[in-house]
Amino acid sequence: MAKYTAVLSAQNTSIKICDIDIRHDANDWYATALLGGTFGTGTVSLQVSPDAGVTKFTINQDGTATAASATAAGALNIRLGNNNTNSNPLELYASIATAVNPAITISVFDNR
């Protein structure tokens, strides 16, 4: 299980957390993102990018049609399909909008 950590500390920002590298013996990428800290009325959302952050798509929580986002400390479970056919790996991003002095730590644990 791999762990990645990133910190969001300014409103209207987006940061790369990690590459989504699916094991060759796995069909999907599973991860749990733990979010903690001061959200400052902001909303953190998780996104995936196929092109180094140029284009980002919102990720849904595993098994739901609800966006993987949070306005307070908690956990988000995500699952993405196998992307071994892409020439570039997918990348996981976190972004925050409309926050006042946020200080959020995001730790991601995956099935690698």
Distance from C-alpha of 110 to C-alpha of 86, rounded to nearest angstrom:
19
**Tens digit of pLDDT for each residue in 55-103?**
999 999 888 889 999 999 999 999 887 655 556 778 999 999 888 899 9
> What is 3-110's CATH superfamily?
Galactose-binding domain-like (2.60.120.260)
- 3-state percent helix, strand, coil for the chain, nearest multiple of 5: 0, 55, 45
Distance from C-alpha of 40 to C-alpha of 50, rounded to nearest angstrom:
30
Query: What is the reported pTM?
Result: 0.87
Q: At 23, is the pLDDT very low, low, confident or very high (cuts 50, 70, 90)?
A: low
User: For the chain, what are the domain ranges?
Assistant: 3-110
**Tens digit of pLDDT for each residue in 33-63?**
999 999 998 999 999 998 889 999 999 988 8
Q: Select from 85, 78, 67 the least CA-distant residue to 110.
A: 78
